[in-house]
Every structure is written in structure tokens, then in C-alpha cells.
Structure 1
Amino acid sequence: MICGYVDSYTLLTFGVYTSFMSGNTIATGMNGGQAKLGAASHALLPIPFFVLGAFIGFLIQKDKSKQQNSLVSMCVAALLFAGVAAAIGAASTSVCVMILSCAMGMMNTTLSQVGGQSVSLGFVTGDLKSIGEQIANLINRTPVALSQGLWDTHWRRLTTLGSIWTCFLIGAIAGAAMAVRVHVWTLLLPAFFLIVLVLTERTTETPKLDSHTVLGGPVEN
């Protein structure tokens, strides 16, 4: 939802995507082919900073732990706040695009799999392809690949993939609606939302039992 929201805002405000790099690549090639070098360079600008953000995100998540994931999410929130500050301070379009592209590159590293199903956050083409694949597997009665248990069915994976696409669409609608109403303040909503998600996850984590104690007492050998 956040990726759809930010992409919708940046496309309306700056004329480029900050998460959907396929769209920027096509725009770069299309404008380059027409010798519109200024437009081509503008469309190209987000790509290296998206890669930079992805690099930083994966570098932080060395062990893929929840703590590292939360740290990346907080970094994304900080970059969104920085994007708002840059817009308020009348920074150039290029600076705003660089900041937000880096944020979305990091965001795309926070979740790549749900159970045994690979998912994409910042672009839904792969998710839609996977929906078609799961429907075909249902019809062919193909066993679930990399099944995580009896609960992990084709229907469960279809629900997961469909919910990601739906949330991405809702985010895009909300991003556009906010962009035309509150302008530079638009990015505050996803930034605060990320912070709330991280804090909620921390407060709901179940404490781990010490290896030498069970129910408050020592383990007898």
C-alpha cells in the first residue's frame, strides 16, 4: 500500500515512478529514442538511487531478523520525512526524486516471501503472474511448491497475492487523492504509518524463554 501510495504521489508531482522501475526504464528508452535527452535523463534518475536503496536495505538485513527489518522500515520513514522537508524547503525535483527513490528501494527489501510464495511490494507484475500460475495449479491439481504445512494451499496463496495487488491499488488511489489536496504533506501519512507498524510489532512480540528455564523454574537434567 505504501509503495503504491508513494508511486502515485511522485508520478503526479514529479512525472516519474520511485518504485516501478520498469516504467522509468520504458520512459527513458522512449524519450531517448525521440532524442528528448532532458526527459530521458529525468526518467533515468530514479533508477540508480532505487538500486542504492535496495543495496542499503539488503546490507542492513544481513540475517533477515525482525529487528533488522524494523530498522529498514524506520530508515524508509526517515527518508519520507526528508522528502517532505525537501519539498517544503523548495529543493529541486531531482533531490526529491533521489530521496524517495532510495526510500522505495529500501522498502522493496523488507518483504520478499510469505510462506513459500515469493511476493513483490513495489511492483505487482510479478504478483499478477503468480496469480495466473496459482489458478493454473489449482485447475491442474498441482501440489503446492515449497509447502509450509496443511494451511499452505493454492487458495491461501491466491488470497495473499490478491490482497497485495488490492492494497497496492488502494495505496495508489489514496496517494493521488492526498497529492491533489495536501500537496507536500502527502508523504507524512505513510511515514507515520510505518512508524506505527514498527512500534506495534515490537509491543506484540512474544518474549523468548531462556534456554535454562521453563515456566519460571530451572530445567531438571
Structure 2
Amino acid sequence: MQQHVRFERIWAAFLLAWVAAFSDAIGFLVLQQLGASFMSGNSMATGVALGRLDWPAALHSGFPIIMFFVGNMLGFLMLTLTRPWHIRSPFAIIFALEVIFLLAFLLVGSRSFQGGSVRPLDSWIFYVCTTLLTLAMGLQTATVRRARGEHISTTFVTGVLSNWANALAQYLPWLRQQLAEQSVLQVIRTPVHQASARHFFLLSGLWISYLIGAICGGVLELRLALTALVFPICILVVLIVIDVLQPFEREYF
């Protein structure tokens, strides 16, 4: 039963990575290539714009940084405040708030959707949509941060790829030495190999889930526009139900 719970939680992380990439893809396509969770890219773009005294561009790339930070801080505050209150399903509360932000983005953005994107940068609606999407991504970033003892993120994958490379760099020399001393079957049965395989599966699954989410977002936005956000919203609703019925244990995250 314990192993089943762990496996279920890993798939919850994969689903959240899919949700984040799907939502990011929608934002990238309809909000002038907005990076809703790519704060390193936004920070670089803000610095370039400031260096060139391009104030509109600096606002375009700098504003999401502020909103993401606010959403992230709000998520951490909610988790912190729910501990003394002994709230059974704190993640469900955050996911519900994320659903509200995504649904509001869908409704507000659809009213000003024209030519495949939300109204140009000089429209207040553009910044409302930017706020809603980046707040949602900031909130999600505060939730799932550990799986199988590893630090992870479901909203951006640069750290995942770095950890993936680091794990392989440490594992391959060990594997080469072991294969020189033991058979392949003996190596596969060793705890070190099994732990490394689980780590590899976790990081690979996160990256693949994120990639598939972006693909789905790109494809469905062409056909459904912002209505495509119904799909990540439904996934979040499923995760809310799971957390209410069987709360996510924090040692897994």
C-alpha cells in the first residue's frame, strides 16, 4: 500500500508538470511570448530592455517577475498558515486557487481575444491576463517541491535537466566499474542501481510530461483558443479531489 501511495504521488507530480507546460504554452502563444514561469528568461529580457532604455519592453518582461513572486509567496504563506490550523488538504486549497486564476484568465482573455492573441500591450486586459497566469504558476511552484527525496519543480525544467545530467555523471562511472566486476544481472539487482533507475525515471518523467504538456497546449490552442485551458483546469480538479480524499503527505513533496 505504501509503495502504491508513493507511485500515485509521483504521477501527481507528472500531471502538474503537464498542467504547467500546457498553461505556459497558452501564455506564450496569446500573450506576446510571455514566459509565465520562466523567470530567468524574463530577468534577462528585463535587464536587456533596461540597458537599452526600452521602458515598454522592460515592463512587459519585468511585470511577470513581480506577479510570479507574489503568487509563489502566497502559496508558501498558505502552506505555512495551514500547519497550525491542522488543515487536512492544504494543497487542495492552493490548487483550487490556481483553478480560479486559470478560469478567470480564460474568461477575461476570451473577451479580448483577436487575431490569435489577447489585445496588444497597451490594453489593461493584457496585464490582467498576465497577472492571472503568472500568479497561477507561482502558486503551483510552492506546492510540489520534493518527490522520492529529490528536489523537483513542476513549473520549469532547467533544474530538472541539470539534476538529470548530474545524476548520470555520477552514475555512469559507477556503472562502468561495477560491470567490470559483476554481471549485468548482479548490477541490476544492487540497491544503488535501483535507486539510480528510480531517480532517472522521476527526472525523465517530469521532463517528458512538461514537453507533452507544451505540445498539447500548442495543438489545442490552434483549435480551441483559450477554451483549451479547460483541460489543465480539469486535471487540477482531479488533483483537488485526490488531495481531499487522500491528502498528499508532505514527506513525498
Q: Which residue of 2 aligns with 1:212?
A: none
Q: Which residue of 1 aligns with 2:250?
A: none
**3-state DSSP of counterpart to 1:120:** coil
- TM-score between the two structures when normalised by the length of structure 2: 0.73
Q: Which residue of 2 aligns with 1:141?
A: 174
Is 2:87 the partner of 1:31? no
- Deviation digits for residues 34-62 of structure 1 (CA, Å, limit 9, x no counterpart): 33221221111111110111111111112
| The one of 146, 151, 161 aligned to 1:113 | 146
**3-state DSSP of counterpart to 1:187:** helix
Contact 1:14 1:93 in 2 (8 A): yes
Q: Work out the number of aligned pairs and report it.
A: 199
AA aligned opposite 1:164: L
- Deviation digits for residues 96-146 of structure 1 (CA, Å, limit 9, x no counterpart): 00111001000111111112111111111101010111112212439xxxx
Is 2:213 the partner of 1:171? yes
Structure 2 CA distance for aligned equivalents of residues 8 and 111 of structure 1: 20
- Quote the offset at 1:155 in angstroms: 1.3
Percent identity of equivalent pairs: 27
**3-state DSSP of counterpart to 1:141:** helix
- Quote the offset at 1:10 in angstroms: 0.6
The two structures, once aligned, show a CA RMSD in angstroms of: 2.3
Q: Which residue of 1 aligns with 2:111?
A: 89
Structure 1 CA distance for aligned equivalents of residues 196 and 242 of structure 2: 30
Contact 2:89 2:243 in 1 (8 A): no
AA aligned opposite 1:56: L
Seen in structure 2, the aligned counterparts of structure 1 residues 65 and 121 have a Cα distance that, compared at 3 Å, is farther
Structure 2 CA distance for aligned equivalents of residues 154 and 137 of structure 1: 10
Relative contact order (C-alpha < 8 Å, sep 6+): which is higher? 2
Structure 1 CA distance for aligned equivalents of residues 39 and 87 of structure 2: 27
Structure 1 CA distance for aligned equivalents of residues 50 and 222 of structure 2: 30
Is 2:100 the partner of 1:51? no
Q: Which residue of 2 aligns with 1:8?
A: 25
| The one of 80, 96, 120 aligned to 1:74 | 96
Alignment of 1:126-205 (within 5 A): 126-141=159-174, 153-203=195-245
